[in-house]
């Protein structure tokens, strides 16, 4: 039964991904510049891809040359293989450099693991400095993200946010009046970083970065930046003037194929979440007494989660699958 479910899900993901989004990629230097890391960022000879590295001296990262008020932001990412405990690779939007106390943020965070265990992916949404109300979700992946590059995308519109993996939507956050300032609304830049998250990234900090396996290298390609570029006035005051300035870009954004959630895409999203989501803030009654307004909870679905938001079944099913793999019981490297 499990194998048949996996087959159906895989077929559905392939079918959705076959209609890949037609979005032009840009060379690195046309849209980005190095943020930190000196020699730990290496451009490809053709300028179409870039590698960022973490070693015992530094991580590294890059930032978009412009900030954007809404848009579609995408990159194909290949993650480091082997022992990667404590390593964090991030692809995200933020305006923390402009709004230190009330910043907005949209995150893809990739959390490394001990040898033989999988990378985990975390998404998050912050608006107006709402870091005390983090909207985390975590997932496993239906592929090995270290073998080849896969596309990760963030769609940010005035009304909803969608996170994509290989053109399959995995999470949708719909804006509501109840969210108030928790919905990101100010222009943001796009970032990519790799850094040492030993204090929390793997089993709550139990397993830390081991630099005998360094350098840890993440490769970014197929870089996409589509949205309304925000000048300094809009950056500080995204008001009606900004809406007028960005009207054409907003229309193009909202009518693009990646902004239209068809029944097929919604079915793929539902199946992905059922099979690969390991945690959702929507069912975390330990951290939060009240459910977030954008959560569409249902009693039958809630039964599949513990009170602290962890899935009762995904990790267990994955452990059973791992036990059947050769060498799965091998001890992790120290």
The secondary structure of 174-212 as a DSSP string is: E--GGGGGGS--S-BEEEEEEEE-TTTTTGGGTS---GG
Q: 194-208, 278-292, 306-320 — which is least confidently predicted? A: 306-320
Average pLDDT for the chain: 88
> For residues 77 and 83, what is the distance between their CA atoms, to the nearest angstrom?
18
Please state whether the peptide bond connecting residue 223 to the residue before it is cis, i.e. omega within 30 degrees of 0.
Answer: no
Q: What mean pLDDT comes out for the span 234-262?
A: 79
Q: What mean pLDDT comes out for the span 124-134?
A: 92
> For residues 301 and 297, what is the distance between their CA atoms, to the nearest angstrom?
7
Assigned fold of 28-314: Jelly Rolls (2.60.120)
Can you give the pLDDT at residue 243? 61
* DSSP summary character for residue 70: E
- Catalytic member of 109, 219, 250, 294: 109
Is position 274 annotated as part of the catalytic site?
no
Can you give the pLDDT at residue 328? 42
> For residues 231 and 238, what is the distance between their CA atoms, to the nearest angstrom?
10
- Catalytic member of 105, 219, 250, 294: 105
By residue count, the chain amounts to 334
> For residues 325 and 154, what is the distance between their CA atoms, to the nearest angstrom?
33
Residue 244 banded pLDDT, cuts 50, 70, 90: confident
**Percent of the chain at pLDDT exceeding 90:** 75
Is position 30 annotated as part of the catalytic site?
no
In the chain, domain spans: 28-314
Helix (H, G, I), strand (E, B) or coil at 27: coil
pLDDT, tens digit, 9 for 90 and up, residues 51-107: 999 999 999 999 999 999 999 999 999 999 999 999 999 999 999 999 989 999 999
């Amino acid at each position: 039964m499990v194998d048949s479910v996996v087959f159906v899900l895989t077929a559905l993901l392939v079918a959705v991904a076959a209609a890949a989004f037609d979005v032009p990629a840009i060379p690195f230097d046309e849209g980005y510049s190095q943020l930190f890391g000196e020699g730990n960022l290496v451009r490809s000879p053709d300028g179409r891809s870039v590698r960022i590295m973490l070693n015992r001296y530094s991580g590294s990262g890059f930032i978009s040359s412009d900030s954007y008020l809404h848009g579609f932001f995408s990159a194909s990412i290949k993650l480091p293989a082997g022992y990667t405990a404590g390593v964090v690779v991030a692809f995200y939007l933020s305006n923390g450099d402009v709004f230190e106390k009330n910043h907005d943020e949209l995150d893809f965070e990739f959390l490394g693991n001990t040898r033989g265990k999988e990378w985990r992916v975390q998404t998050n949404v912050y608006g107006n400095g709402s870091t005390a109300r983090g909207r985390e979700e975590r997932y496993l992946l239906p592929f090995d993200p270290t073998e080849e590059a896969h596309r990760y995308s963030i769609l940010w519109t005035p009304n909803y946010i969608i996170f994509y993996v290989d053109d399959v939507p995995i999470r949708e956050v719909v804006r509501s009046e109840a969210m108030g300032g928790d919905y990101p609304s100010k222009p943001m830049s796009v970032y990519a970083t790799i850094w040492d998250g030993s204090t929390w990234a793997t089993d709550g900090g139990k397993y830390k970065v081991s630099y005998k396996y360094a350098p840890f290298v993440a490769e970014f390609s197929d870089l996409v930046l589509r949205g309304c570029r925000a000048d300094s006035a809009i950056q500080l005051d995204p008001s009606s003037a900004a809406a007028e300035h960005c009207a054409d870009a907003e229309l193009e954004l909202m009518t693009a194929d990646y902004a239209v959630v068809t029944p097929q895409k919604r079915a793929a999203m539902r199946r992905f979440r059922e099979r690969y989501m390991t945690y959702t803030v929507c069912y975390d009654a330990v951290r939060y007494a009240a459910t977030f307004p954008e959560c569409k909870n249902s009693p039958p679905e809630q039964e599949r989660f513990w009170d602290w938001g962890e899935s009762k079944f995904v990790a267990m099913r994955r452990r059973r699958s791992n036990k059947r793999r050769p060498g799965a019981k091998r001890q992790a490297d120290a």
